Amino acid sequence: MNHLTFAGLHFLKQEKFLKALAEGIPDVKPIGPTRILYIVAGYFQVDPSDLLGKGRKKEIREPRHWAIYLMYHHCYIGGYKNIAKFMGMNHASVFSAEKKIGNHIRNYDNYKKDYLQLIKRIQDD
């Protein structure tokens, strides 16, 4: 039987949830963007509030891109425009960040390792 946890649920995209449920995913855990922001900030040891906005320092930019990627793929916030609004950015920047992290995960082992660690933190949360 599926274990469903709804803590921290924001902007539920019901069709995604129902699809995951129908596919028999054993632990469907909707998570909100604020929680992802805190998980990423903790992992990269930065202040969560620094991830919001348009600062360009690499030590902030990279974790921000991770937060965007995770929100797009593992959060029910719903698309680039909603993520952009939440993050205080424009949707083109959000699109670019999501694509960049996705490409790096596919091509670089250190990004794959970070991705697996972040997913584990999301699931353990």
Strands (E), the chain: 3-4, 27-28
Which parts of the chain sit beneath pLDDT 50? 1-14, 25-26, 28
Write the CB contacts of 118 (distance below 8 Å, at least 6 apart in sequence).
Answer: 39, 40, 43, 66, 70
Backbone angles phi, psi at 28, to 5 degrees: -90, 120
What would the pLDDT profile of 56-72 be if each residue is shown by its tens digit?
888 999 999 999 999 99
Q: For the chain, which domains are there?
A: 32-124 (1.10.1750.10)
- The whole-angstrom separation of Cα 90 and Cα 92 is 6
pTM given for the model = 0.77
